[in-house]
Chains A and B, each alone.
Chain A
Amino acid sequence: MADPRVARGGATLTLTPDGAAGLEIFYLEAIRQALFEEMERDPRVFVLGQDVGVYGGAFKVTEGLQERFGKERVLDTPLSEEAIVGGAIGAAMRGMRPVAEMQFIDFISRAFDLLTNFAAKNRYRTGVGVPMVVRGPCGGGVHGGPFHSQNRRSGADLTIVTYGAMVWTALEAAEILERDGVSAEVLDLRTLLPLDEEAILASVRRTGKCLVLHEDTRTGGLGAEIAATLSEKAFEWLDGPILRVTAPDTPVPYSPPLEEAFLPNVNTLLAAARKLVRY
């Protein structure tokens, strides 16, 4: 029987809860590993989505899971996000712990009504919670590489707060800045909710300057939320404006040169960082 656990270079690696340090794996492998462990541990956990079974998911996150756990616990659904999310909601309310896969996270908007008006509010309305996970891949471009769980770089002159694939852009920019004698700290948020507010505040209180970098569009984005929080809680430590480097308020373009222009990159980041350092 195929073992879906993390396999790199022919070797199978088994992560331990605290033993992950030093092991570099892809995000999708970490997700597969987590699914595997939870499905082994808890018979209530099951996966449902499009092509998650024999095919192993569009990005191979669920590869090998159906072979291991069977067709019911790794359930292929119709092309139907409302059925996937609605089915997960119903199953969660009846004692299961579903993990619903959106083949691309963009498709999640097809189930917006069920997520916002049902899953998110049911506990408030009726006292019955909906313990479920909805997951899917997101992010533009091909700049993203493997992530290490502790991507972080210390610095004294400014803080770059970011997450996801932009961590690599930030680290690259920080190396270039270092050659210019500018010491940039890179903070990888890793999760947006919960937001590690303490880490952001601690870093900005040390450096006095903050730049938020994200792939998401600008208006009403997480950058604005972080800027508002810093303004509320670190105002007296700030030595310059809080800057945002983000995508513009447009859809993601398809053509490669257009997408390159859409996404923040090292050059746009460097320009903003230098401006902030000079301030």
Chain B
Amino acid sequence: VPVVSGMLLADRMQGKHTVGMTYLGDGGTSVGAFHEGINFAAVQKLPLVLILEFNGRAYSTPYEKQCAARTLADKAVGYGIPGVVVDGNDALMVYEVARAAVDRARAGGGPTILECKTYRMKGHAEHDAQAYVDAEELAVWRARDPLARLEAALDASGAMPAAERRRVHDEIESRLDEDVAFAEASPFPDPALAFRGVYADEGILERGRAGVFTGGL
């Protein structure tokens, strides 16, 4: 959050009209940098939309062990900015609320906290089978699948025919397959790259005062 605030500050100084949007989970709001960054952005009225993806957990830690506030958006009061809670599995609603926050930021109104209530359907990462998650609760949320809901909404409005959706879906799948094939066919990087990209002067380690590779002898 502080880094994005700095980016927006820089853009304002350079006369660019940028709106920044960044994402955090419930755990991220317990970190000091969240508070310092959003407070700074609020004081400077920076055009920031902070999306808090509330999914009830940070790794295995449930929300009630994370934060005592009724909602994450409640925190906004302390920074003097709006905090909005939205059904995060309703894509169109999220769009509308985010749009309003962006418009507000663009008009000089400053940051908004946007809390999207959603759920984590898989573990923290591939290794995590999330045995600590209640199976019934998972089933309840599976029924709230945001993709299925968006498709239903598109069907109801006729905005995007099923055949067109199928085409887009297949196109994305085939692009992903190509990228995976490319990655798997690519060689592993040269070990010498481990020493690159640290200093502006790329040769400094080889010539370096510590004589990294020779022990100075």
Could you tell me which A residues sit within 8 Å of B by CB distance? 46, 72-73, 75, 77-78, 80-83, 85-96, 98, 113-114, 118, 123-124, 127, 129, 194-195, 197, 229, 232-233
| B12 CB, nearest partner CB in chain A, Å | 8
Given A82-B32, A123-B198: A93 touches B40 (CB 8 Å cut-off): no
- Report the stretch among B2-10, B66-74, B103-111 that lies at the interface: B2-10
Let me know if B138 is at the binding interface, CB within 8 A. no
- Contact residues in B for A46 (Cβ distance below 8 Å): 13
Q: Mark B9-45, 1 if CB is under 8 A from A, else 0.
A: 1111110000000000000000011001101100100
Instruction: Report if B125 contacts A (CB, 8 A).
Output: no
| Inter-subunit contact B216/A90 (CB<8 Å) | no
The tally of residues in B whose CB lies under 8 Å from a CB in A reads 30
For residue B210, CB closer than 8 A to chain A, the reply is yes
In the bound complex, do residue A90 and residue B33 qualify as a contact, i.e. CB atoms below 8 Å apart? Answer: no
Q: Find chain B residues with CB under 8 A from A127 CB.
A: 197
Expressed in whole angstroms, the minimum distance between the Cβ of A77 and any Cβ of chain B is 6
> How many residue pairs between the two chains, A and B, have CB atoms under 8 Å in the bound complex?
99
* Chain A residues closer than 8 Å to B143, beta-carbon distance: none
Query: Is B156 among interface residues, defined by CB-CB distance under 8 A?
Result: no
Q: Which of B158-217 contact A (CB under 8 A)?
A: 197-198, 200, 209-211, 215-217
Chain B residues lying within 8 Å of A85, measured Cβ to Cβ, are: 2
**A86 and B209 within 8 A (CB):** no
Among B5, B13, B197, B217: residue with most chain A CB under 10 A: B13
In the complex, which residues of chain B have a beta carbon less than 8 angstroms from the beta carbon of A123?
A: 197-198
Instruction: Specify which chain B residues have a CB less than 8 angstroms from the CB of A90 in the assembled complex.
Output: 2-10
